[in-house]
Structure 1
Amino acid sequence: MKIVLTELAREHGSHWQVRLDQHVVTFRSEAEARAFIQTLESRLAAPHRLPYRQQRVAQ
């Protein structure tokens, strides 16, 4: 997943945009945007188990 942080110049100050491939999330501060990226990256790096596939017993 490609994560890109961009500053957006606005009339009333700047906003920050985090782009995750085709998805975009906008934040009011750089600190909020960076915290979001840090949380996302740690969740992506965390170990994940595949869901257990339950087998149905024929009745």
Structure 2
Amino acid sequence: MKILVRPTTTPKGSCWQVCLDQHAVSFRSEAEARRFVTVLEERLKAPHVLPDWSRRIAS
């Protein structure tokens, strides 16, 4: 996943966007945008337990 932090201007004024591939999330400040990216990357790197589908199918 490509993550990009960039400044942008909207009719409501200036803000910062975090672009995740083709999706964009807007923030009031660069600091808020970078905190979001930090949390997102930590969650993506965290271990994830996948469900055991063989048990669910057998039930």
TM-score interval, smaller chain: 0.7 to 0.9
Where has structure 1 moved over 6 Å in runs of 4 or more?
none
Cα distance in structure 1, aligned partners of 2:30 and 2:4: 13
Cα distance in structure 2, aligned partners of 1:12 and 1:20: 22
Deviation at 1:14, TM superposition (A): 2.4
TM-score, normalised with respect to structure 1: 0.81
Across the aligned residues of Structure 1 and Structure 2, the Cα RMSD in angstroms comes to 1.6
Structure richer in helix, relative to its length = 2
Q: Which has the larger radius of gyration?
A: 1
Q: Which residue matches 1:2? A: 2
Q: Which residue matches 1:20? A: 20
Map residues 1-59 of structure 1 onto 2, 5 A cutoff. 1-10=1-10, 14-53=14-53, 54=56, 55-56=58-59
The percentage of aligned residue pairs carrying the same residue is 55
Structure 1 residue runs without a partner (length 5+):
none
